[in-house]
Amino acid sequence: MNTMRTRMKVILWILLILFIGSMTVGGLVGGADIVNQIFGRVDASTAIAVVNGETISPELFYHQLEHNLEQARIQGIELDDRALNFERDRIINQLIEASLINQEIEQRDIKVTDQEIYFELINNPPQELQTIPDFLTDDVFDEAKYKLALQNPQGDEWRPIENYVRQYLPRQKLFNQIRAGVHISESDVRNEYILQNVEYTVSAIVIRSNRFNQPEFNPTEDDMENYFFLNPDEFRQDQQRVLSYVEWVKSPSVEDTLLAKETAQDILSRLKGGDAFAELANEFSEDPGNSTPEGTGRGGNLGWFGKGQMVAPFEEAAFSAQPGDIVGPVETDFGIHVIQVKDRRIENEEEQLLASHILLKIDMGPTTREKIKNAATQFSFDVEDYGFDQAVERNNNELRKMQPITEQSMFIPPFGYFPEPAKFAFENELGIVSDVIESDQSFTVLRLDSIIAKGTKEYGTVINQIRTTLTTENQMAAVKLLAEKLDSQLLEDKSLFEKAADNDEKVELVGPVSAKLGSSFQKIGRHESIIGALLAAEVGQILPPVEITRAYVIVKLENRENIDEVDWEVKKEVIRKSLLSQRENELLGAWVTELKEKADIVDNRKHYF
């Protein structure tokens, strides 16, 4: 019990973090700020979010974030900017959902009794308690010791644990109420077994829209203009902002290349001194193909290869060597190579080599990075002294335009994941120039050039989109017409199924092809409407036309495996539990989504990160 008391603060924090972090365990948030609520104000410094008037404090958010980051560090994981932003957003969303669920508990007046808490502690001891030495026998949790301590408290050591259980049990009750709406029938379980275990063989008539490419399916100018004016909601756009930028690409320097070549020379010296090539390859090579699941490495082995399979400098050096030779350093776009030629042969009249290599990537060193950053920083100083345009001219930089971005823009060509421009653009006024911003590939300085108002896009910017939409609609209308015609003919004469493709080049006959319904049929794919029809179909039956992605398909069930009734009896309970859990999670997810859509949420995360 002394151990339990001394560890209780740590245990309580861990339990609180777990409580916040799990949808199935619960969430804890702050109370409402009544004054600000009355006057419609939200103080961003005291609330990272407000949910139906109830605040979520920054302290709670940062406790959760620090815990998650510490767990990542313990596992040797360093989060980059993208992963860190993802983790922040995930925690905020969890806290918002937790607040909504707690509010729902209050509205439904869900409470727990002392007897229920005691029952939970007896039957489901929290995992953290199962590691306390007082409850272990031979390093294994001893249920008897645990229950004895629970039944004979020596003070208030159980109070934090009791409070923790008192917090999550109402949520458990709430979720059980919602889950009660899920029912799994015997036919549901049977169909799921069939999806996973029974193979179906089908043939199909497939009519694809790309076969209808005649000019007659192209829309007229009047058609496109009418579509634009009749569908204004389709062309709404959020406010956009346009940035110009100068960038300094982070790339290795000549010095970095020389450093990699010096390392290659050191490796060559060690090889001459008798070190084994395979051991040095496992120690130095940065070729991803050299890694193994066990972490032992492949000794740099490339296997047999012929001419034309490797990049030119590598191939030239390797095929110029004899078995037993070691050549290098050889520079390619991948880095610096040291190559060991092991053997040579003629296979199918083609000369082949068996070789290994050590790849040293040419990475940007810290000195190079600092030089590039300094150039960007000097540009920023010049902007302060001379203005943005003059700084571009004085430094002989290339001024580029970024495509218009919205406040939610995260991926920006050609940068990739780069959320900083959107944050800068929507927090500043026209003409403002940013500090130096670092992305994965460069250092960048931005200027906000213009603002595109929220509203409807200009017709000229969406004309190609409209043309594609209307062309596809025209094509699919023709596809549907042909599919319905064939279906009508097949009702009269099923033997026409195999001949359909002979009479019309727009028709493709696929199959027979076999697959389980839970997977995908070759050239047909996997479509819920087809699966449902096949579950109820008889062998030999031709199904009505079904629309799939830019095509219509008429499926014929050629064969279906018999159900293994013994296997069915063995697996059905496992399938029932899995299906029930899946349906319950789907229902809970949809319920939480509906709560969020109806809630009044003020999200202040942009003020924090």
* pLDDT value, residue 163: 84
Tokens describing residue 238: 């959020």
What pLDDT, on a 0 to 100 scale, did the predictor assign at position 43? 66
Asked if residue 34 has pLDDT above 50, the reply is no
Let me know: does 328 contact 341? Beta carbons within 8 Å.
no
Predicted local confidence at residue 29, as pLDDT? 40
Residue pair 437/243 in contact by the 8 Å Cβ criterion: no
Whether residue 64 contacts residue 20, with contact meaning beta carbons closer than 8 Å, is answered with yes
3 state SS for 478-515: HHHHHHHHHHHHHHHCHHHCCCHHHHCCCEEEEEEEEE
The per-residue pLDDT of the chain, averaged, comes to 88
**Residue 538 CA to chain centroid, in angstroms?**
40
Q: How many CA atoms lie within 13 A of 313 on its CB side?
A: 12
| Whether the predicted model's global pTM rises above the 0.85 cut | no
Closest CA to 30 of 43, 14, 11: 43
280-310 pLDDT per residue, tens? 999 999 998 898 877 778 899 999 999 989 9
Confidence of residue 90 (pLDDT cuts 50, 70, 90): very high
What digits encode the pLDDT tens for the residues 524-570?
888 888 898 999 899 999 999 999 989 999 999 999 999 999 999 99
Q: Which of 334, 360, 319, 338 is nearest to 271 (CA)?
A: 338
Per-residue pLDDT, averaged over 353-373, amounts to 94
In this prediction, residue 500 carries a pLDDT of 86
Residue 572 has pLDDT above 50, yes or no: yes
CA quadruple 271, 275, 277, 281: dihedral, nearest 10? -100
Does the pLDDT value for residue 238 go beyond 80? Answer: yes
Residue 342 dihedral angles phi and psi, to the nearest 5°? -100, -40
Helix (H) or strand (E) holding 102: helix 81-107
To the nearest 10°, report the CA torsion of 33, 35, 40, 41. Answer: -70
Instruction: Report pLDDT for 38.
Output: 33
Q: Which of 221-225, 500-504, 519-523 has the highest mean pLDDT?
A: 221-225
pLDDT at 405: 95
Q: According to the model, what pLDDT value does residue 170 have?
A: 92
Q: Which of 512, 422, 347, 375 is nearest to 85 (CA)?
A: 422
Q: What is the predicted pLDDT for the residue at 42? A: 55
Write out pLDDT tens, residues 417-440. Answer: 898 999 999 999 999 999 999 988
Taking the C-alpha atoms of residue 170 and residue 17, their distance in angstroms, rounded to an integer, is 17
Q: Give the Cα separation of 287 and 280 in Å (integer).
A: 13
Spell out a b/e string for 401-437, using b for 16 or more CB atoms within 10 Å of the CB, else e: ebebbbeebeebeebeebbbbbebbbeeeeeebbebb
Length of the chain: 609
- The residue that leads in pLDDT, 18 or 499, is 499
CB neighbour list of residue 400: distance below 8 Å, 6 or more residues apart: 244, 245, 246, 247
Look at residues 472, 526, 482 and name the one whose alpha carbon lies nearest to residue 508: 482
Residue among 259, 252, 283, 266 at smallest CA distance from 358: 283
Between 604 and 22, the more confident residue is 604
pLDDT at 138 over 80: yes
pLDDT of residue 539: 93
The percent of residues in the chain predicted with pLDDT above 70, rounded, is: 93
- Report the pLDDT value the prediction gives residue 27, as an integer from 0 to 100: 36
Mean pLDDT of 314-334: 93
d(CA 539, CA 518): 19
Mean pLDDT of 347-376: 93
More confident residue, 580 or 156: 580
pLDDT in tens, 367-422: 999 999 999 999 999 999 999 999 999 999 999 999 999 998 989 988 888 989 99
pLDDT band at 24; cut points 50, 70, 90: very low
Cα radius of gyration (the chain): 33
Residue 23: band (very low, low, confident or very high) from pLDDT cuts 50, 70, 90: very low
Inform me whether the pLDDT recorded for 156 exceeds 80. no
Would the pLDDT of 315 be above 80? Answer: yes
* Partner residues linked to 547 by β-bridges: 552
pLDDT digit string, tens, across residues 37-50: 333 445 667 889 99
